Amino acid sequence: METKRQLRVSKLLQRELSSIFQRDAKDKYGSGMITVTKVNITKDLSIARVYLSLFATKDKAALLESIVQRTPEIRFTLGRAVKDQLRQIPSLEFYEDDSLDYIENIEQLLLP
């Protein structure tokens, strides 16, 4: 179970990362649309696991790899945005959130 502090920091990181991806998506990641669906943070606030939904792209794996390669740059931008709220910026780990694909697959299986 997450503590209140973990929840607050997760929401803060989700909001700031969403604005970073919204602002930089076209310039750095092409035509893909990136949505931050969830952020889980460890108890010691050192690692943030960021789940992303990737839309309007043919190769989701390549887009995710591009994001992972730019992790230091994203973390630096995030640090500038939350410097007054957090003492230390957590390490970022990016994962693809495939829950929407899973739901769509179930709907396709249930429809005649």
pLDDT of residue 91: 97
User: What is the predicted pLDDT for the residue at 95?
Assistant: 95
As a whole number, mean pLDDT of residues 55-65 equals: 86
pLDDT of residue 69: 95
Please list the residues that pair with 38 across neighbouring strands.
Answer: 51
**Fold of the 4-110 domain:** GMP Synthetase; Chain A, domain 3 (3.30.300)
pTM for the whole thing?
0.85
Rounded CA separation 99/82 (Å): 29
Q: Between 1 and 91, whose confidence is greater? A: 91
The domain ranges of the chain are 4-110
Whether the per-residue pLDDT at 1 is higher than 90: the answer is: no
Please report which confidence band the pLDDT of residue 112 belongs to, taking 50, 70 and 90 as the band edges: low
Per-residue model confidence as pLDDT tens digits over 6-53 = 999 999 999 999 999 998 877 777 777 889 999 999 999 999 999 999
**pLDDT tens sequence across 77-97:** 999 999 999 999 999 999 998
Contacts of 36 (CB under 8 A, 6+ apart): 14, 17, 18, 21, 50, 51, 52
